[in-house]
Structure 1
Amino acid sequence: MNAEKLSDRLNAVANNIPEGARLADIGSDHAYLPCYVVKKGTVPKAIAGEVANGPFQSALEQVKEEDLTDWITVRKGDGLEVIEPGEVDCITIAGMGGTLISSILEKGKSKLEGVSRLVLQPNVGSFAVRRWLIDNGWELISEEILKEDGKIYEILIAEKGEPLNAYHEINLENGILFGPFLLRDRSAVFIEKWNAEVKNWQRILKQLDGAVQNDETDGKRKELKKKLEMAEEAFQ
């Protein structure tokens, strides 16, 4: 992967960045994504944000190597600290856990003024992102799921709007866990992911049945049984 050819998951993120948007890519690593969309002409300007010094330096070097310093600003900071309110139209956050993405958005809520689209790619815990979007008035307008190098990734695209629109005619809890668009589409990759998850839940539940009984194991057992019931309801 480089600034000329993105991975499949980052390419899916790039394809959901609106034409002409001012972009902030949070956790940009080598800044491949902003370099790619600027070179392609999708966006006129971009900000690459990184909190760790190593990736920050890598992003600086990549932008300089691509001769894009006039169009891409590399900034060091925690999450949305790297942008000002009204500075960008689109924010991308890819390659992190869903809980961390939600935390970044929550801590940086004041910086979301003027932002019209979020393109989010959680590696795990997509439900946490969906829950944050609902709680904060963002409407999930599309979802994608893909498999690359043996790993399954989800991309969530949201805009300001009616947060429950995507969940009409489906159980809300199921929609948050499985993804309302993904649950309706039921692609082969989606089925593969949740078959594996269900088997894992069943395995853990079996282990808990043989474990010492206490409040912690009882709580985990109830949580797993609820998830298995939700899966049975969603896929029946």
Structure 2
Amino acid sequence: MNHEKLSMRLERVAIHIPKGSILADIGSDHAYLPCYAVSNGLCDQAIAGEVVEGPYQSARKQVAITGLQDKIEVRKGNGLEVLNSDEATCITIAGMGGTLISSILESGKEKLGKAERLILQPNVGAANVRSWLIDNGWALTGEEILEEDGKIYEILIAEKGDPLQPYHVNKQIGLMFGPFLTKQFSDTFIKKWQLEKRHLERIIEQLDESGRSGLESKRNELEAQISVIEEVLKG
């Protein structure tokens, strides 16, 4: 992977960047995404934010190699603190857990004043991200699910609006499974939740094998989750 050929995961993130954006890629690593976005005319300017020294230096080097120093600024800092207020119009955060993504957004939400779109790719815990979006007035406008190198990823796209609008059928199901993904009901979606169901079943087996008392409530909780998954997988 490089700035000319992204991974499928990052390519699908990039496709949702609105033309003419000022992009902020938080946790940018090698800055491949902003370099790709600027090089392909997906955004006019970009900020690559990175908190770790090694990736920060890699990002600076990558931007220099591509000759995009006049359009991409690499900044070192934690989360959205690399941004000035009302600076970025599109923010991407990819390749982290949903809890961390939510924490980054919560800690820096005063920097989102000019943001028109959030493109978020949690590796796990997408429900946490959906909950944050609802609590902070961001409406999901689309979702994707894809498999790459044996891992399944979700991409959430959000804009300011009525945060509950996509959840008009069942909020709890939507939070867990994704309101758009549930409707799309793709093979990858089905595979993800079949795998999750088997994972929960293995945990129940381990609980039973442990012979410990006082685990009934945990077992009931897991069985309830399995029942919900089975219901959704019926379509």
Same fold (TM over 0.5): yes
Task: Give the C-alpha shift of residue 23 in structure 1.
Answer: 0.4
CA 1:111/1:206 → structure 2, altered by over 3 Å: closer, same or farther?
A: same
TM-score (norm 1): 0.96
1:92 aligns with 2:92: yes
- Tell me the amino acid that sits aligned with residue 191 of structure 2: E
How far apart are the structure 2 equivalents of 1:91 and 1:219? 40
How far apart are the structure 1 equivalents of 2:107 and 2:221? 28
Task: Kindly report which structure 2 residues correspond to 1:43-122, keeping only aligned pairs within 5 A, or say none.
Answer: 43-122=43-122
Partner of 1:8: 8
How far apart are the structure 1 equivalents of 2:111 and 2:38? 22
Partner of 1:195: 194
- Tell me the amino acid that sits aligned with residue 224 of structure 2: K
TM-score (norm 2): 0.96
Per-residue CA deviation, residues 62-94 of structure 1 (Å, 9 max, x unaligned), is 001111110000000000000011101000000
Query: Match of 2:39, SS?
Result: helix
Partner of 1:220: 218
Task: Give the C-alpha shift of residue 204 in structure 1.
Answer: 0.5
- Tell me the amino acid that sits aligned with residue 15 of structure 1: I
Partner of 2:155: 155
Partner of 2:205: 206
Structure 1 residue ranges (4+ consecutive) displaced by more than 3 angstroms after TM superposition? 217-220
Task: Give the C-alpha shift of residue 9 in structure 1.
Answer: 0.4
- Tell me the amino acid that sits aligned with residue 227 of structure 2: E
Which consecutive residues of structure 1, in runs of 5 or more, have no partner in the other structure? none
Aligned residues: 233
Task: Give the C-alpha shift of residue 12 in structure 1.
Answer: 0.3
Per-residue CA deviation, residues 18-69 of structure 1 (Å, 9 max, x unaligned), is 0101000000000000000101111111000000001000000000111111
- Tell me the amino acid that sits aligned with residue 36 of structure 1: Y
How far apart are the structure 2 equivalents of 1:28 and 1:220? 38
Partner of 1:31: 31
- Tell me the amino acid that sits aligned with residue 194 of structure 1: W
Per-residue CA deviation, residues 197-222 of structure 1 (Å, 9 max, x unaligned), is 101101101211233123xx445324
1:233 aligns with 2:220: no
- Tell me the amino acid that sits aligned with residue 203 of structure 1: R
Query: Match of 2:21, SS?
Result: coil
- Tell me the amino acid that sits aligned with residue 221 of structure 1: R
How far apart are the structure 2 equivalents of 1:220 and 1:84? 45
Identity of aligned residues (%): 60
Which consecutive residues of structure 2, in runs of 5 or more, have no partner in the other structure? none
